[in-house]
Structure 1
């Protein structure tokens, strides 16, 4: 299935059904189809050919997401670009991806103007919601031609770009099976482009539908960026003719109101936002009875907070574990898997990432390429049609990630006797203290059990005595306090003195990525910088 097939499948179940809703505006499946046909024809008129790369730079928006299906119909490759990235990172990604067309919101015109001089391959620019620079329109083919006063217009307004384009079915044959190019981000050096194929997305969608509870016409609430997990989760929802309610900005008060208003059945939140939701004053008074599945993932979840979420939100918590290179569904844990057969909480599973998904093979490998038995720790490796085609124009990185015939996730973990997958750390986050391997994720779980703690990050810092000292940086709930001695004793009682933090810091907030992950590299850098300055 191409990306457009998910939309067409939903439309076949009723073109008048709601498809994309933002605020008070709803586009039906038929309307999104017609818009995608017009976008396809406009792309073709602008010179975009099958295999060309088309980037979308936008906050969560119905029209922007509709363009994705036009890109697919044109046989082009969708390049989702996160507007929260730094300008330099987006310039690097657009250059790396060889993008020839950029569709963007007017709010990001300053960013586009800043990076455009360094992107000669970018010849077609379209502004979704304005003229992008306050000057007159550009030329109808989408190139940034001059305006009547002689000044160059940054981009063609979307309405002008679609002028005289009929809303009639048309599509081109794709050049190959690549449907998405996803940037890995620059947190581990230069960004890489993950090539995802139609088979990757089809496998992910199938795993979603077979692993979690769905009924007819689900209602999916997208708060997290559509450039990430929230976006690809739309595709399986569309196969059932479901409605996708899109939130332009992350606001938990509005999030709760939308669940009640639209009778939302499915949604996704990273753990950090779930912790904030549990402290929200409107949670107890909101009707959440429509929810069937609240996915959590993208970072480790505190077992203590997970139990609280099940109690206060409902028996709807559902875990997923994946990465850009193997999207979303390496392992899954449905709501029912959080319970024993007798209805009691299966707390021993709460620190796991669930079981390997049905169409995915997961194993644990040592540094020599040997597969390890249950209970032994090593790198989590994956095989199957979920795994990417490779990194765009980077054969050495592709070869490195696929050593010994398996995709290497960079995560350390183990499989238990019941085939539950436990992720103990990112390989790069492991701390060696006093000659012992200390997994930061394990220490974080212990810290998060403290009732005063809202969120935390555990990192290793250079230490003359220990080699690295375990350092915990905690963010507390409002009006809460804890001393470093209390926290050290609390953790020591749970996982022992070797793993207990030697240093405890209390910060008002933690640095986070665009998708809500705590940035441990930033935490560590700040601590090191402060230490070097006395």
Structure 2
């Protein structure tokens, strides 16, 4: 099955149901299907080849989702693009991924000049939301009201390339990730198995559609679900949208969950419609997780995945979060493997480790990517011993629950001891004054690397550094306790919204004249 076939399933079972809602506008599945068909017909008439690569550079918008579906309807390959990335990073990726056609929102129209200079392979620039001179033409000027049905132009085989994602670039230059039709089928199947819906979902897209929220929204269309689109994450707007549209499902990174919990009106809101809040991408403070369950209800859904094995390698559904006494049943776990993935803990020599021993989390199965685009060496490196290597250090217990300890490349060696930043961060996040934090290793003559924590305070709180150090020492002991804590207004983040430890480390290692 092709990716567009899942939308067609939603069309068949929910033709007149709202497919997408943006502000006061909404379109039914039938209306979206007609518009998507017209976009695809325009692409084909413009010379877009079957299997060619196209991207949509836009924030969250109905027009952006319809353009993505139009690419897929034309039997093109959708390449995910991040409108918050720098022009230079996008130019690098567009050139690497052989983009043929680029849909561009007016908010980032000024970047087209850079792309024209650095991406000679891009054949067409299409204005997405309104006319502007930098583009070749405006989408609505080229599509008709009733285009004839677009015929399938590729086989739809499982091994056929469906979409191109890119790695976050937190450990080096971004790479293109090839995800096939079979990968998409495994993703949709795993999501439905791990989060069974009582009725067609109402999916709130508040996190960027350029990352997990976008593919998850497209997957929900296979169930005839309604996608409610917000231009950006704002706690008050999210709360209002949940109540107004009776939202049943949304994806949020832990930082966004913390921001919701800190909003003064959150405890007066009606969240009774929610079935799932899926969280992933970073460890969640256990105290905040318990608070989230108390505020939103038993709806929290943990998962672990990465671009190369997207979103749900493991999952812990809401009913497995709490034990009979109402306490966290598996504190800090990211769940157990989904039905279609084998997951193990492996050492550097390729040995599968028993429960309780730390090593790298490895996975195999139909969820794992086809490889890195035009990079067979990197593909081979992450595929040794017949498993995909996630780069994450983890452990599993006797019952098969997995726990992510940290990124392999973020591990700190201080005084000969291994210190995992995520473990220290989890301890600090338990303090009431801490909104978020990041832990890094910096050069130190005595310890080799010294552990330093950067803390972002909660609104209205003023953390005391000495008190935080004492709090951490009680939880961690002397070896893992940071040598110092620095309170900063806001942690640096990547364009994917993840805390950038690299930016925090860089000044210290630059001053030492070397890198980790």
Tell me the TM-score range normalised by the shorter chain: over 0.9
RMSD of aligned alpha carbons? 1.6
Alignment-derived partner of residue 183 in structure 2: 200
Query: Which deviates more, 438-447 or 170-179?
Result: 170-179
Tell me if structure 2 keeps the 8 A contact 1:270–1:515.
no
> Which residues of 2 match residues 280-291 of structure 1 at below 5 A?
280-291=263-274
Residues 164 and 204 (structure 1 numbering): CA distance in 2 closer, same or farther, change over 3 Å?
closer
Alignment-derived partner of residue 132 in structure 2: 132
How big is the shift at 1:461?
0.7
How big is the shift at 1:494?
1.0
Residues 177 and 96 (structure 1 numbering): CA distance in 2 closer, same or farther, change over 3 Å?
same
> Which residues of 2 match residues 319-334 of structure 1 at below 5 A?
319-334=302-317
How big is the shift at 1:437?
0.4
> Which residues of 2 match residues 48-67 of structure 1 at below 5 A?
48-67=48-67
Are 1:27 and 2:27 an aligned pair? Answer: yes
Tell me if structure 1 keeps the 8 A contact 2:63–2:129.
no
Alignment-derived partner of residue 482 in structure 2: 501
Alignment-derived partner of residue 11 in structure 1: 11
Are 1:423 and 2:369 an aligned pair? Answer: no
1:130 aligns to what SS in structure 2? Answer: coil
Alignment-derived partner of residue 455 in structure 2: 474
How big is the shift at 1:526?
4.3
Alignment-derived partner of residue 195 in structure 2: 212
> Which residues of 2 match residues 23-172 of structure 1 at below 5 A?
23-133=23-133, 154-163=135-144, 166-172=147-153
Residues 168 and 20 (structure 1 numbering): CA distance in 2 closer, same or farther, change over 3 Å?
same
Are 1:486 and 2:467 an aligned pair? Answer: yes
1:439 to 408, 420, 434: 420
Distance, in Å, in 2 between the alignment partners of 1:281 and 1:488 is 29
Tell me if structure 2 keeps the 8 A contact 1:41–1:165.
no
Distance, in Å, in 2 between the alignment partners of 1:487 and 1:472 is 10
Distance, in Å, in 2 between the alignment partners of 1:471 and 1:75 is 50
How big is the shift at 1:426?
0.1
- When normalised by structure 2's length, the TM-score is 0.96
2:441 to 455, 460, 480: 460
1:81 aligns to what SS in structure 2? Answer: coil
Alignment-derived partner of residue 328 in structure 2: 346
Tell me if structure 2 keeps the 8 A contact 1:89–1:185.
no
How big is the shift at 1:174?
5.0
How big is the shift at 1:269?
0.7
Distance, in Å, in 2 between the alignment partners of 1:239 and 1:479 is 43
How big is the shift at 1:170?
2.8
Alignment-derived partner of residue 410 in structure 1: 391
How big is the shift at 1:527?
4.9
- Once the two structures are superposed, residues 365-411 of structure 1 have per-residue CA deviations (whole angstroms, 9 ceiling, x without a partner) of 11111111111111100000000000001000000010110000000
Distance, in Å, in 1 between the alignment partners of 2:508 and 2:432 is 25
Distance, in Å, in 1 between the alignment partners of 2:95 and 2:123 is 12
Tell me if structure 1 keeps the 8 A contact 2:163–2:179.
yes
Tell me if structure 1 keeps the 8 A contact 2:72–2:78.
yes
> Which residues of 2 match residues 262-301 of structure 1 at below 5 A?
262-301=245-284
- Once the two structures are superposed, residues 52-110 of structure 1 have per-residue CA deviations (whole angstroms, 9 ceiling, x without a partner) of 11111111111211122221122210011110000000000100011111111111110
Tell me if structure 2 keeps the 8 A contact 1:51–1:174.
no
Tell me if structure 1 keeps the 8 A contact 2:290–2:328.
no
Distance, in Å, in 2 between the alignment partners of 1:39 and 1:482 is 53
Tell me if structure 2 keeps the 8 A contact 1:74–1:174.
no
Residues 428 and 30 (structure 1 numbering): CA distance in 2 closer, same or farther, change over 3 Å?
same
2:372 to 391, 395, 418: 391
How big is the shift at 1:167?
4.8
Alignment-derived partner of residue 252 in structure 1: 235
Residues 116 and 484 (structure 1 numbering): CA distance in 2 closer, same or farther, change over 3 Å?
same
Tell me if structure 1 keeps the 8 A contact 2:40–2:150.
no
- Once the two structures are superposed, residues 283-316 of structure 1 have per-residue CA deviations (whole angstroms, 9 ceiling, x without a partner) of 0121111001001111111111111111122111
How many residues of Structure 1 are paired with residues of Structure 2 in the alignment? 511
How big is the shift at 1:474?
0.6
2:362 aligns to what SS in structure 1? Answer: strand
Residues 15 and 417 (structure 1 numbering): CA distance in 2 closer, same or farther, change over 3 Å?
same
Tell me if structure 1 keeps the 8 A contact 2:438–2:499.
yes
Tell me if structure 1 keeps the 8 A contact 2:41–2:150.
no
Alignment-derived partner of residue 231 in structure 1: 214
Question: Which 5+ residue runs of structure 2 have no aligned equivalent?
Answer: none
Distance, in Å, in 2 between the alignment partners of 1:284 and 1:476 is 21
Distance, in Å, in 1 between the alignment partners of 2:450 and 2:180 is 43
Alignment-derived partner of residue 316 in structure 1: 299
- When normalised by structure 1's length, the TM-score is 0.93
How big is the shift at 1:483?
2.8
How big is the shift at 1:528?
4.8
- Once the two structures are superposed, residues 413-456 of structure 1 have per-residue CA deviations (whole angstroms, 9 ceiling, x without a partner) of 11111111011010011010110001111111111111111110
How big is the shift at 1:263?
0.2
Distance, in Å, in 2 between the alignment partners of 1:127 and 1:403 is 43
